[in-house]
Amino acid sequence: MNKKPISKKNILKAVAKIATDKEMVRSYVKGKTSLKTLAQKGIKFAKPV
């Protein structure tokens, strides 16, 4: 198993992106943000079965 060195900088960047994405989705649910805006940010929703 290959182990790559993990950079703290990359982890913090990923966590910050997750937090902003979560806020964007919350604003969409509340009706403040459009689906088009989320798509531009790269956020995709799963299609229900």
Q: Summarize pLDDT for 2-38 with one digit per residue, the tens.
A: 777 778 898 999 999 999 999 999 999 999 988 898 8
Q: Does the model's pTM come out above 0.75? A: no
pLDDT at 1: 67
d(CA 45, CA 6): 29
Nearest by Cα to 43 from 26, 24, 30: 24
